[in-house]
Amino acid sequence: MTGKEKGTIRRLLCLAYLTNPDCKMEGGFLNYLNGVFCVFPHSVQPLAVVLYALWLLYLFVILGVTAEKFFCPNLSAISTKLKLAHNVAVSFHGFHSEPKGKGVVRCSNAGCAGIFVTTVVAGGIALVRPFKAASRPFLRDAVFYMLAVFLTFVALYFEQVTLGEALGYLVLYIFYVLTVVISTWLHKRQRRERLAPPSHTEPELPTDSDDVDSSSWCFYFISLAGEEYQPLLPSEESTFRILTDSLNPLDYRKWRRKPWHWKILKACKLPVELVLLLTVPVVDPDREDQNWKRPLNCLHLVSGPLICTLTLKSGTYGLYKIQGVFPVWGVVFLAGASLAGIVFCTTRNEEPPVYHCAFAFLGFLVSALWISTTATEVVNLLRTMGVIFNLSNTVLGLTLLAWGNSIGDMFSDLTMARQGYPRMAFSACFGGIIFNMLVGVGLGCLLQMTSSKSVVRLESEGLLVWILAGALGLSLVFSFLSVPAQCFQLGRGYGCCLIGYYLVFLTIALLTEFRVIQLSAN
């Protein structure tokens, strides 16, 4: 084949991509399909696939660092500052996994992400950190989740969502949040009335499990012993020194004693950690200064809102120009700079202000948007891989897209479990999916409804719909019955059963898609 013929084929592929509506990406900053079909020559397409695979791995690194060092600490700080139970704190978990779609809800995309989180992610939490689940929050979340699944698949059965049904989704989620808040308040009130005031208070350990392991006690006593090495006279550091020290993501003492493979991974994380340190504040209520870094926190008042503006909807709102002249991001930058100047002039380096806890909310929001943006890139990249390897939309929904849409939840939930908050992570598995089903379907359909269109048509996929409905229902019934049977003590056996269940479901669903399993004609 001559070079001219190859160029013609490449132009035809690029034209087919540009004119095919199924190849349009929803959000994201990089157009991966355009790079494959219109930028990279056909002869170096394998190189493009390798580069995309490496970029995908690095996106996973970004998700892990963001969840472990920024998202989860700020969520824990918010829970501590507001004295919220962990199941209340995670009732809003999942808002960073914004609903994707164009109003036509495909069953494979909506259902598979839910079953992945409630089986693989929930099972992974039990494997990482066995724990005792809170009885009433678990039963409440399971009931609401089953109700959300029932409503979703009733809509899929009739293949439409009306205006009243869409509003019903949102009302049900509001009722769920109110139920969480009110039931928690009543539970705390009953405990205060039932328990006598303690004669002395014991130090609380940083864990949400009922059993305190020896490692937590060791950490506590080491922290007490470390007070002996505090300087007798506090030394004041300059503002510039505080800024440079707080922006250093590398501990040189740890670097020297770590193995080579740890150093390679750390070197890959350093650029990500530096960017996140510049944009995401972290509040630590366990420290005396609550991690107050005056110059850096003032910088966060500028960079944090700016990142939120430029990452929300892939910068669509931030790049909008007011009166066609001044961009929105410019207004946000000026407002943040003014607020940062006020905070800098009214605070000191040595003492955090009384409103320092508000930085935890800013850090939670910015880190959640970082996770959402990264997860969107993962979804688009996985979808590109599916197009390259000629996978059908249904197979993509069952595998790559379901995993990609759940990747943010997986990293944040497993990170919470590793850091000693398995209850919070387990509740988030249900709270996030309830949010995605009720708010995602309800709000997504409302946005598609106009004055002349009060019904949104849904796509069904025949037998696959009922396989998904049965798999979701059966998994919920299994957890609803087995968790109380284990006295709410969830261990590695429960986790293995959930992951094995997902593998069986995925196998049956793929065999159905490839018509190995099909209904016999009468």
How far is CA 439 from its chain centroid?
16
Q: Which residues does residue 110 pair with via DSSP β-bridges, in sequence order?
A: none
The model's pLDDT over 334-358, given as tens digits with 9 standing for 90+, comes to 999 999 999 999 999 988 999 998 9
Among 33-47, 279-293, 408-422, the range with the most confident prediction by mean pLDDT is: 279-293
DSSP states along 295-335: HHHHHHHHHHHHHHHHHGGGGTTTTPEETTTEEHHHHHHHH
The number of C-alpha atoms within 13 Å of 511 and in the hemisphere containing its C-beta is: 11
Cα 344 to Cα 292: distance, rounded to the nearest angstrom = 12
**Is a pLDDT exceeding 50 seen at residue 96?**
no
pLDDT score, position 97? 46
Question: Helix, strand or coil for residue 219?
Answer: helix
pLDDT confidence tier of residue 520, bands split at 50, 70 and 90: low
Among 8-22, 92-106, 425-439, the range with the most confident prediction by mean pLDDT is: 425-439
Instruction: Please state, in angstroms and as integers, the Cα–Cα distance from residue 453 to each residue in 30, 163, 383, 450, 456, following that order.
Output: 33, 9, 30, 5, 8
**Average pLDDT of every residue of the chain:** 78
The count of residues in the chain is: 522
Question: Helix, strand or coil for residue 453?
Answer: strand
Strand ranges inside 215-365, DSSP E = 321-322, 326-327
In terms of DSSP bridges, do strands 160-162 and 455-457 run parallel, antiparallel, or are they unpaired?
antiparallel
The CA-based dihedral angle spanning residues 8, 10, 12, 17, taken in that order and rounded to the nearest 10 degrees: -170
Name the percent of the chain lying above pLDDT 90: 20
pTM over 0.85: no
pLDDT score, position 101? 42
Question: Token pair for residue 351?
Answer: 């003492």
The model's pLDDT over 243-262, given as tens digits with 9 standing for 90+, comes to 998 998 888 888 888 888 88
Output phi, psi for 487, to 5 deg.
60, 35
Question: Token pair for residue 487?
Answer: 């006295």
The model's pLDDT over 203-214, given as tens digits with 9 standing for 90+, comes to 444 444 444 343
Q: Which of 11-20, 180-189, 369-378 is predicted with the least confidence, judged by mean pLDDT?
A: 11-20
The CA-based dihedral angle spanning residues 365, 370, 376, 379, taken in that order and rounded to the nearest 10 degrees: -120
Name the percent of the chain lying above pLDDT 70: 78
The model's pLDDT over 417-462, given as tens digits with 9 standing for 90+, comes to 888 888 888 888 877 777 777 777 777 777 777 655 678 776 656 6
The model's pLDDT over 159-177, given as tens digits with 9 standing for 90+, comes to 788 888 888 888 888 898 8
